[in-house]
């Protein structure tokens, strides 16, 4: 899939949006089932056009708040306006690679004023889902430079070039792929083929939009190892319901009919909204589908949002 290789990079690749969409379609059997389309979507300009219909806005990060290290123009003002109108605004993101404090620092640097409890990530979701597995020895797919904040107390060894690590650990956590290489992937697949063990994936994304192209995310490598080893990974984050369970626990009692999930991906954000039983809006002008034929993608996948919004 045109993966970039250098350790410490962003795994930028030359995928087109159409190819990335095909990659998600190729793993539909591991994703939640889409709600059968019973209507078409409504096209709107911004979230202001539907603000009166919703009390809660759940926002994806990449493609809605920012593209890479750049805030999407106008989004800060839109969020401020929604909050001023009494709306609840939460971030629901598959950003497993960042410790929560580092993510909050990033959002503040970009000009967003979210409270820590208003940001729900797939990293938080994975940690909540460890259950009785917190004490086992985990091999960790992550980038050393991001650090281990939030992961204190877990018995972890980074997955790098030593084959003995892959053979000795009791399971694998996949949370960040910026430093991942084909050599490491081969070691992981070989170790799992020889001795199957739990694989927990803290970021189901296959790709994420950047300033130029897409980055390859842990979900890509998790689906590859599943195809090649028969091991079934456990996914934490959109489109799976576990991340929405945490969001609604934070919100308390709300009418799900007045909750809108806003994102740029059909297979994570919109499918996730359907899994959670809430309305959805697909961003068309930024992120995954920037410059693409959104209507054609919706028809091809059968994943139909309630709204297509030009910009947040």
DSSP the chain: ------TTS--EE---HHHHHHHHHTTGGGSPPPPPP-S--EEESSGGGGGGG-SEEEE-SBTTTEETTEEPTTHHHHHHHHHHTT-EEEEEE--TTS-HHHHHHHHHHTT----GGGEEEHHHHHHHT-GGGTTSEEEEES-GGG--TT-TTSEEEE-SS-HHHHHH-SEEEE---TT--HHHHHHHHHHHHHS---EEES---SEEE-SSSEEE-HHHHHHHHHHHH---PEE-STTSHHHHHHHHHHH-S--GGGEEEEES-IIIIIHHHHHHT-EEEEE-SSGGGTTS-HHHHHHHH----SEEES--
Please report whether residue 111 resides in a domain: no
pLDDT tens by residue, 137-148 = 999 999 998 889
- Tell whether the model's pLDDT for residue 2 goes beyond 50: no
Q: Which of 215, 235, 255 is the last residue of a domain?
A: 235
Please report whether residue 73 resides in a domain: yes
**Mean pLDDT across 62-72:** 89
Q: Which of 209, 235, 261 is the last residue of a domain?
A: 235
Please report whether residue 48 resides in a domain: yes
Q: Is the domain of 262 the same as that of 228?
A: no
Percent of residues, the chain, with pLDDT higher than 70: 95
Please report whether residue 2 resides in a domain: no
* pLDDT score, position 213: 72
Q: Using 50, 70 and 90 to split pLDDT, how confident is the model at 13? A: low
- Tell whether the model's pLDDT for residue 5 goes beyond 60: no
Q: Is the domain of 221 the same as that of 245?
A: no
* pLDDT score, position 11: 57
* pLDDT score, position 225: 97
Q: Is the domain of 86 the same as that of 163?
A: no
Q: Is the domain of 197 the same as that of 258?
A: no
CB 125 within 8 A of CB 244: no
Please report whether residue 125 resides in a domain: no
Q: Using 50, 70 and 90 to split pLDDT, how confident is the model at 9? A: very low
Work out the mean pLDDT of the chain and round it to a whole number.
Answer: 92
**What is the count of structural domains for the chain?**
2
**Mean pLDDT across 254-273:** 97
Sequence-separated (6 or more) residues with CB below 8 Å from residue 127: 150, 151
Surface-to-core class of residue 92, CB atoms within 10 Å of its CB (0-12 exposed, 13-18 middle, 19+ buried): buried
* pLDDT score, position 14: 55
Q: Is the domain of 229 the same as that of 243?
A: no
Q: Is the domain of 77 the same as that of 65?
A: yes
* pLDDT score, position 6: 34
Please report whether residue 291 resides in a domain: yes
Which CATH number covers residue 263? 3.40.50.1000
**Mean pLDDT across 186-203:** 98
CA 8 to chain centre: 20
Look up the domain containing 57 and give its range: 33-94+239-309
Cα-based distances in Å from 182 to 11, 126, 143, 173: 11, 24, 15, 17
Question: 58-62, 64-68, 196-200, 284-288: which has the minimum mean pLDDT?
Answer: 64-68
**Mean pLDDT across 116-137:** 94
Please report whether residue 51 resides in a domain: yes
What pTM, to 2 d.p., does this model score?
A: 0.93
Q: Which of 235, 263, 293 is the last residue of a domain?
A: 235
- Tell whether the model's pLDDT for residue 241 goes beyond 70: yes
pLDDT tens by residue, 28-60 = 999 999 988 777 999 999 999 999 999 999 999
**Mean pLDDT across 145-168:** 94
* pLDDT score, position 8: 39
Q: Is the domain of 145 the same as that of 219?
A: yes
* pLDDT score, position 1: 31
* pLDDT score, position 39: 79
Q: Is the domain of 257 the same as that of 224?
A: no
Q: Is the domain of 145 the same as that of 193?
A: yes
CB 140 within 8 A of CB 170: no
* pLDDT score, position 56: 98
* pLDDT score, position 4: 33
Q: Is the domain of 204 the same as that of 253?
A: no
Please report whether residue 127 resides in a domain: no
Q: Which residue has the higher pLDDT, 19 or 191?
A: 191
Q: Is the domain of 221 the same as that of 157?
A: yes
* pLDDT score, position 102: 92
């Amino acid at each position: 899939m045109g993966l970039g290789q250098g350790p410490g990079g962003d795994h930028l690749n030359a995928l087109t949006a159409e190819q990335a969409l095909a990659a998600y379609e190729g793993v539909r059997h591991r994703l939640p089932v889409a709600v059968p389309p019973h209507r078409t979507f409504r096209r709107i300009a911004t979230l202001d056009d539907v603000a009166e219909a919703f009390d809660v806005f759940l926002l994806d990060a990449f493609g809605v708040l920012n593209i890479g290290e750049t805030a999407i123009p106008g989004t800060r003002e839109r969020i401020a306006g929604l909050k001023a109108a009494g709306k609840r605004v939460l971030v629901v993101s598959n950003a497993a690679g960042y410790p929560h404090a580092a993510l909050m620092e990033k959002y503040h640097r970009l000009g967003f004023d979210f409270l820590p409890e208003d940001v729900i990530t797939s990293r938080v979701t994975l940690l909540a889902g460890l259950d009785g597995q917190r004490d086992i020895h985990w091999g960790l797919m992550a980038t050393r430079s991001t650090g281990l904040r939030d992961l204190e107390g877990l018995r972890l060894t980074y997955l790098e070039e030593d084959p003995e690590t892959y053979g000795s650990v009791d399971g694998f956590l996949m949370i960040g792929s910026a430093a991942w290489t084909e050599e490491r992937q081969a070691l992981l697949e070989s170790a799992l083929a020889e001795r199957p063990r739990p694989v927990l994936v803290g970021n189901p994304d296959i790709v994420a939009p950047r300033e130029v192209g897409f980055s390859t995310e842990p979900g890509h490598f998790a689906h590859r190892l599943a195809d090649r080893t028969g091991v079934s990974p456990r996914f934490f984050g959109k489109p799976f319901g576990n991340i929405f369970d945490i969001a609604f626990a934070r919100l308390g009692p709300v009418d799900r009919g007045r909750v809108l999930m806003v994102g740029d991906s059909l297979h994570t954000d919109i499918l996730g909204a359907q899994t959670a039983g809430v309305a959805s809006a697909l961003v068309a002008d930024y992120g995954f589908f920037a410059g693409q034929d959104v209507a054609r993608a919706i028809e091809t996948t059968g994943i139909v949002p309630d709204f297509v919004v030009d910009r947040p």
